Amino acid sequence: MATETESVELVGDESARNIARAVLFAAVTSATAPVDLVHPLVPNVPITLQTLWVFLAGVVLGPLWAGVSFVLYAVGGAIGLPVFAGGSSGLGVILGPTGGFIVSYPVAASVVGLVAHGTGNLSAPGDIPLPRVVAAMVAGSAVIYAIGTVGFSVVQGIGLLAAVSAVVVPFLPVAAVKIAVAAAVTRSDAIVAR
């Protein structure tokens, strides 16, 4: 009895490519985790590069695979890989004051991808109009700040307005710089969505 296997494809080329790119974004985000700066006004909430990667993943990978990438990132950190700010890891970080930000990343990456690409096929990042790219990143920032601020408020036991004053207002200039950098990168010929 012979079985022909040449036409059996467990994972298609496109799926394999998307999985590899999602893993790559999770890995790059993880590799840059030790890079964090102390904000002079909010020393207990670091300035990190993770949100920059959230923006780029959404534009490059689209809503589904960008979200998957940051689920992988969060799960890796939860199980003990040193991928969170300052090389930290574990459920304690996710349940801590800045954990809401980590939880927001998959949602925000998906929102960036959805606003940038819509529900159709992915476009090359450079083909997406710049105002749409910026709007996608602003929408992603809103998701990150909303979920992160609620988490910070709950864990710290402070009111929502106090949390906004602590973790949103001082970081708005930083977010603007990250959006500008990520938008500039999407105009680069080095990024390919296909």
- Asked whether residue 8 is domain-assigned, the answer is no
Q: How far apart are CA 57 and CA 87, in angstroms?
A: 21
What is the per-residue pLDDT across 80-108, written as a single tens digit (0 to 9) for each? 999 998 889 999 999 999 999 999 999 99
Question: Can you tell me the mean pLDDT for 61-89?
Answer: 94
Token output for 127:
């083909």
Query: What's the structural domain count of the chain?
Result: 1
Q: How far apart are CA 179 and CA 112, in angstroms?
A: 11
- Asked whether residue 3 is domain-assigned, the answer is no
What is the per-residue pLDDT across 126-142, written as a single tens digit (0 to 9) for each? 899 999 999 999 999 99
- Asked whether residue 26 is domain-assigned, the answer is yes
What domain range is 78 assigned to? 13-186
What is the per-residue pLDDT across 12-50, written as a single tens digit (0 to 9) for each? 788 888 899 999 999 999 998 888 888 777 777 788 889
Q: What is the CATH number of the domain that holds 107?
A: 1.10.1760.20
- Asked whether residue 43 is domain-assigned, the answer is yes
